[in-house]
Structure 1
Amino acid sequence: MDSRSDRGMDRGTDRGKDLRRAVVLGAGFAGMLTASVLARHAAEVVVVDRDRLPAGPLARPGLPQAHHGHLLMASGAESLEALLPGFTDSLTAAGARRLALPGDLLSLGPHGWLPRIREASHGWCLSRDLLDWIVRERVLADPAVRLEPGVHAEGLCGDARRVTGVRLRGDEWPDGHELAADLVVDATGRGSRAPRWLAGLGLPEVAEERVDCGLVYATLLVRPPDRAAGFPSVSIQTGPGAGPGRAGVIFPIEGGRWLVTLSGTRGVELPRDEPEFHAYARALPHPLIADLLSACRPLDRVRRYGNTADRRRRYDRCRRWPDGFAVVGDAVAHTNPAYGHGLSVAAGGVLALARTLERHGPDRAGVTGDIQRAVHRGTRAAWSLATAQDIHYPDVVGAHPTRADTLRARLADRLQAAAARADGTGGDADAILATLIRLGTLKAHPTALARPATLRALLHPPTPAPTPDPAPPLTPTEQSALPQAPHHTSPHP
């Protein structure tokens, strides 16, 4: 090994830390958060990434999903605040949009428009490039953290009992190099090769769960007219069980821009250019997004993305797990991005890693196995919410609804119907809507559904609901932001 790559190992624990060197594979969102945690325990943290990262909130080749809308749920923001104190202040300073939910959301579902009552939870809208840049800038300010761009991992060093480093290749080491480490963490995302690397050490095959409803989405970055400044987020969708799913979402992001995303499950053809994009938006169950889009100026081409299956690797079930190695973020689990949980689950997983290391110490035998179990626990809620809906779309791959799944879907539909009657007076419907919002932002546990208001809605058939108002619940200011089109307050034929 060259002297430059081993300088931290020579220092040992002269900074009073338990580890000499930790290596993080992947310099994305989860990877950089992990580096911030490991810098508390290691004299040197080396972060490697195959990309050369931009010096600012700009796109990079290895993250094609960054062109699309991202939500940071309340739970994820709390995890980030715990990992990087003051982080939400940085979001505000950078122009990220905080959405009070449901008030700052115009959402149309099977039971009509969602009532815009008092805040039950919140989320943050911003570009993925900006989010990653804020995290990266904070973490790389720590002198213990060193970034090695243009480098990728080819495998692990060590054996089935302990990982002792990682084999790297890239600009710095074109002929390959073994970098010794006390701890290696894989944060390489959906393309992680950790199962193959573990098999190379003689460990059993890792079980994997996968549910794929075939969702594809297309996004257009636009500049809305000045009169639409501050307009709420918009979501229009059909529900599972009613044929292929179709949806449209407007994400207001920094710089006064919007990311407009249209999506469809298996059996639906997504647009590839602007004329098709406008036509698809016009065919949604309500013309609101199409009307708003008609007044916007495009800032980019239409971009499509289709790697959206729910996928979870069950590292927590491995009976043997090597010391010195852990996996976090999308490399462990990722769900259909339509539900907006990915960033929050990843941040929560890194927080679980941090708490496990604090509780047990980074050099204790078996601590990395504890980390995998803790990370897995943080995936359960998002996994259940996503797969419980995705299995009901046509031609889903990987799972099919059972009678129990069908019953749960009916009960969930009953709750959504009850929530659609919320009126802000504090009754059962308000309580149910608040609970569903908190579940959707991962701020509540499913046991919250056992509350009296929810049980009453589940046990007693609701009275026939009035016909939903076809017009979105707009304020006068929001109404004035719409183009003067005769159809914007009527349902699409």
Structure 2
Amino acid sequence: MTQPRPSHATRAVVLGGGLSGTLAAAALASHVDEVLILDHDVLPDEPKARPRLPHGDHAHMLWAGGADAMEQLLPGVIQECLDGGARRIPVPTGMVSYAPAGWFRRSWEPTHYLIGALRQEFDLVVRRRVLALPTVRVRCGVKVIGLLGNAARVGGVRVRNEDHEPETVRADLVVDATGRGSKAPTWLAEIGGPRVREITVDAGVRYASRLYKAPAGADENWPVIHIQADPRGGEPGRVASIISVGGGRWHVSLSGTRGGEPTAQEEQFEDFAREARHPLVAEALARAEPISDIAVYGRTANRRRFYDRARLPAGFVVLGDAATSLNPVYGHGMSASALGALALRTVAESTPVPSSRFGMQAQRRIARPAADAWLLAVGQDRFYPNSIGAKPNIVDRIGARYVARLTYTATDSAVVVKSLTDVMTMRKRAGELFRLRVLVAAARGPRRPVLDAPPLTPFELAILRRAPMERPTAKH
């Protein structure tokens, strides 16, 4: 039940107008009199890249758990994305995935889904919906330079406004959704706040991505193709993936860990895809036409700041990448942000936003989905050669062996596929993998041999049997 508001007009200030910030605004819109979004950029009114979204040109997936959360915050928003060209891809049937243990079968019933679209298109749909809410407004061209308040309570922010003049903006709640570049630790120190514990695991992942025009007939029903790396293979990990994002386009992302990074050089792009653990992505690209330049991105370290365990001042919350930033290869960033924003709304439904209890309760709820996504990412990245940061301990190694066993079993077990997919799509928490039926299935292992070739349909095989395209010499 929504709690009564205090007698004075209440305001929440959200720092950052990206996906995390706009979803946070949606979460709070019915629980304060005003939500004010502050952003340093001029937010575009069309789906295009902007300076503080440098990874926007790379492939993004919105897993079912994140899409469900987004739909609860903004009913109808997923259908709006689909109407705009995004694709709803069934899981596992719509994925051709090659794990270290082998190929996953596609013969199971679809139990989950993911949404494939360009990141800029996701952001634009959500931003338009949120800014149409009557209690939400945005100010662009505003740079936040610090917090107002002290170690007990934050009462707003200090900014340089649109005219580059200093200004104070008062608030009952400040939500930091400024992403990987968050200055929250510095801001807290300046007002006497706590030092927040931080962990980093950096496998040195670098991305190279571009758009392709899909081969004729392969635009709407083409599966996600994902060639995974093997973190324990002793070599740099190379990942290659194709996601159909509507409009007859494939979004292709290649990535490599430290010592095996892709480049922006035209002639090396498809060669790198061929050097992954299986050449399937390269074979598909040979039949498609590149329609964009190659975008490269390398700021991919996993970093977790434990705001949920610190004595934060009342009136301050940190959400999304500002609190937990993840290697994008696992595709959990958007979903973790959406689930974090939903957690923020859940707390607002039972605790008044201006309450001294609100911030800490919200921070702890926000941390839960982020912690699950963190475990999925660092549980792999810690094992790459030359990975920097917290090294795997004995518990990590035992956990990694169990997950490897689950992945191997999932090549031929509907029970394990369902549980792994529940966790991967963020519909359920990691504890799902330790249920008795999953433990029994893992102990039994697969009953059939691992597939020796990708599980492609006759239609998909026919596409790959076409003659490769001749590449023009000019850039697209």
TM-score w.r.t. length of structure 2: 0.93
2:177 matched residue in structure 1: 187
2-side partners of 1:134 and 1:103: how far apart?
A: 27
Deviation, 1:342, is 0.5
2-side partners of 1:165 and 1:218: how far apart?
A: 39
State the one-letter code of the partner of 1:191: G
2:285 matched residue in structure 1: 293
State the one-letter code of the partner of 1:347: A
- Alignment of 1:316 with 2:308, yes or no, is yes
1:232 and 1:461, CA in 2 relative to 1: closer, same or farther beyond 3 A? closer
2:466 matched residue in structure 1: 484
Structure 2 unmatched ranges of 5 or more: 469-476
2:127 to 122, 131, 136: 136
1:467 and 1:118, CA in 2 relative to 1: closer, same or farther beyond 3 A? closer
- Alignment of 1:395 with 2:404, yes or no, is no
2-side partners of 1:411 and 1:44: how far apart?
A: 48
1-side partners of 2:240 and 2:318: how far apart?
A: 33
1:469 to 452, 467, 473: 452
2:325 matched residue in structure 1: 334
2-side partners of 1:69 and 1:41: how far apart?
A: 34
1:345 to 323, 326, 336: 336
State the one-letter code of the partner of 1:479: L
State the one-letter code of the partner of 1:323: A
State the one-letter code of the partner of 1:58: K
Deviation, 1:258, is 1.0
2:253 to 221, 245, 261: 261
Deviation, 1:338, is 0.9
2:79 to 84, 89, 92: 89
- Alignment of 1:361 with 2:346, yes or no, is no
What does 1:444-455 correspond to in 2, within 5 Å? 444-455=428-439
Deviation, 1:295, is 2.1
State the one-letter code of the partner of 1:468: L
State the one-letter code of the partner of 2:272: Y
Aligned to 1:374, what secondary structure does the other structure show?
helix
2-side partners of 1:481 and 1:16: how far apart?
A: 63
- Alignment of 1:207 with 2:197, yes or no, is yes
Q: Determine if contact 2:59/2:243 at 8 Å carries over to the other structure.
A: yes
| Aligned-residue identity in percent | 43
1:414 and 1:51, CA in 2 relative to 1: closer, same or farther beyond 3 A? same
CA displacement 1:213-266 (0-9 Å, x = unmatched) = 111111011111223122111011221100211110001112121111111111
Aligned to 1:260, what secondary structure does the other structure show?
strand
State the one-letter code of the partner of 2:209: T
What does 1:54-453 correspond to in 2, within 5 Å? 54-116=44-106, 117-171=108-162, 173-229=163-219, 230-242=221-233, 243-318=235-310, 320-420=311-411, 422=412, 429-453=413-437
Deviation, 1:346, is 0.5
CA displacement 1:309-353 (0-9 Å, x = unmatched) = 1111111111x3212221111111122111111101001111111
1:461 and 1:137, CA in 2 relative to 1: closer, same or farther beyond 3 A? closer
CA displacement 1:265-285 (0-9 Å, x = unmatched) = 111131222211011112222
Deviation, 1:44, is 2.3
2-side partners of 1:111 and 1:182: how far apart?
A: 51
Q: Determine if contact 2:409/2:442 at 8 Å carries over to the other structure.
A: no
2:12 matched residue in structure 1: 22
State the one-letter code of the partner of 1:57: P
Deviation, 1:461, is 6.5
1:94 and 1:18, CA in 2 relative to 1: closer, same or farther beyond 3 A? farther
2-side partners of 1:18 and 1:106: how far apart?
A: 55
Q: Determine if contact 1:33/1:139 at 8 Å carries over to the other structure.
A: yes
Pairwise CA RMSD:
2.0
Aligned to 1:65, what secondary structure does the other structure show?
coil
2-side partners of 1:190 and 1:290: how far apart?
A: 32
1-side partners of 2:47 and 2:445: how far apart?
A: 51
CA displacement 1:357-389 (0-9 Å, x = unmatched) = 111111222211111111112212111111111
Deviation, 1:176, is 1.2
Aligned to 2:42, what secondary structure does the other structure show?
coil
1:106 and 1:363, CA in 2 relative to 1: closer, same or farther beyond 3 A? same
Q: Determine if contact 1:19/1:41 at 8 Å carries over to the other structure.
A: no
State the one-letter code of the partner of 1:101: V
Deviation, 1:404, is 2.9
Deviation, 1:37, is 2.4
CA displacement 1:437-458 (0-9 Å, x = unmatched) = 2111112233322344422344
Structure 1 unmatched ranges of 5 or more: 1-14, 423-428, 487-493
1-side partners of 2:354 and 2:160: how far apart?
A: 27
1:211 and 1:19, CA in 2 relative to 1: closer, same or farther beyond 3 A? farther
1:394 and 1:137, CA in 2 relative to 1: closer, same or farther beyond 3 A? same
Aligned to 1:227, what secondary structure does the other structure show?
coil
Deviation, 1:129, is 0.5
Q: In terms of mean alpha carbon deviation, does 284-293 or 336-345 score higher? A: 284-293
TM-score w.r.t. length of structure 1: 0.89
2-side partners of 1:185 and 1:355: how far apart?
A: 15
Question: Which structure has the bigger radius of gyration?
Answer: 1
1:17 and 1:186, CA in 2 relative to 1: closer, same or farther beyond 3 A? farther
Q: Determine if contact 1:17/1:41 at 8 Å carries over to the other structure.
A: no
State the one-letter code of the partner of 1:302: I
1-side partners of 2:399 and 2:467: how far apart?
A: 41
1:398 and 1:17, CA in 2 relative to 1: closer, same or farther beyond 3 A? farther
Q: What is the total number of aligned residue pairs between the two structures? A: 462
2-side partners of 1:123 and 1:467: how far apart?
A: 25
CA displacement 1:377-408 (0-9 Å, x = unmatched) = 22121111111111111121112122332222
1-side partners of 2:258 and 2:461: how far apart?
A: 35
Deviation, 1:133, is 0.4
2-side partners of 1:21 and 1:408: how far apart?
A: 44
1-side partners of 2:395 and 2:355: how far apart?
A: 42
